[in-house]
Structure 1
Amino acid sequence: MVNNMSDGEMKMTYSAILRDKDDKKIVRVQFERQNGATLEVAEGVLPEGRIVKQNGYSPDEVKDLEKYLMDNSDDIIARAKVISNPLKWL
């Protein structure tokens, strides 16, 4: 696999609207960055705005990512709704 990310550059991806084990609507958000040969990943969940899994991020960075999720939750959820409905792709 070829990775075109430079060290320190972060990429964010998000899922469509999903259902969790309690049947609540959620969006999974993943942050990735390259650190030398290591790919560091943090996975968050909206609307909670909480990082649920991570490797390679400091506690302060996790707090910053959670703040980012909360500050941008409306926009991320709106974008997830668009990809959840294939009719809006056209």
Structure 2
Amino acid sequence: MSRRNLLNVLDFLKRPNASELVSGTKDRVNLHDKFRNAIDTAYPGTISQLEVEAQQKAAARKKKVAFWDSAVDANTGGFKFSF
């Protein structure tokens, strides 16, 4: 698993049926908490940093104007037309 997928894996492990879907371990209780603690111990601050980056990306996506919206908005230098 890469850093890029870490938050996805944590979200997956939060699912109620995650213990049924994960193989390779006999101890399937609290997989999310155990995995998160192991990552925090081995790589302190990584999860927090990735969560902040994900929030920043989400905020940037909200601010970004869609191509079509910019094309039909006369205020942004595009053109406007109607039928």
Give the TM-score taking structure 2 as reference length.
Answer: 0.31
User: Greater relative contact order (Cα 8 A, min sep 6): structure 1 or 2?
Assistant: 1
Structure (1 or 2) with the larger CA radius of gyration: 2
Give the TM-score taking structure 1 as reference length.
Answer: 0.30
User: When you count helix as a share of all residues, which structure comes out higher?
Assistant: 2
User: When you count strand as a share of all residues, which structure comes out higher?
Assistant: 1
